[in-house]
Amino acid sequence: MSRIGKKPVAVPQGVTATVNGQTVTAKGPKGELKFVVNDEVLVKLEDGKIKVDPRDQSKTARSKWGMSRTQILNILAGVKDGFERRLEINGVGYRAVMQGKNLQLALGFSHDVVYETPQGVTITVPKPTEIVVAGSDKQVVGQVAAEIRQFRGPEPYKGKGVKYADERIVRKEGKKK
């Protein structure tokens, strides 16, 4: 039995949620998000709470049960508060600048890397070595942060590159004489 799936999801104050068949829609101050639940899972809205149950006791239905509940929780939290991911840039001469809607990164290449901000995501640069990716969809925010990090991931010897703010880089000892 899924311990996560058993718990009903409470709809937060200021958010309206509707269940239409297998589609869960949430509207809030940060926008509107939809999630289509897999056919092996039943979804119903009862007195301000969304209840998720498997259709039967098959392995696939039970495995999608907890994931569906978590996805619904994420869209409700996203339209209410939103999500953000912080990135840090380490290295001499490495920096980030916003130019209009595009993020321009100087990461030690012979050219600057230009990243176009996708719709539904806002990128801000409070300091030249710090990037904040924010939005209402947790999956999209995480994907954008991963794409920015992928341009120059952190290396283990000096720690240069783009890393998540909460990430810890395991350092290696350099070559000895």
Whole-structure pTM value: 0.88
Domain membership of residue 127 as a residue range: 83-164
Residues 1-58 have pLDDT tens digits of 668 888 899 998 999 999 998 899 999 999 899 999 999 999 998 888 999 999 888 8
Which residue pairs, CB below 8 angstroms and at least 24 apart, start in 118-127?
A: 118/144, 120/31, 123/98, 124/98, 125/96, 125/97, 125/98
Residues 91-126 have pLDDT tens digits of 999 999 999 999 999 999 999 999 999 999 999 999
Among residues 80, 103, 133, which one ends one of the domains?
A: 80
Q: Do both 114 and 134 map to the same domain? A: yes
Q: Do both 26 and 99 map to the same domain? A: no
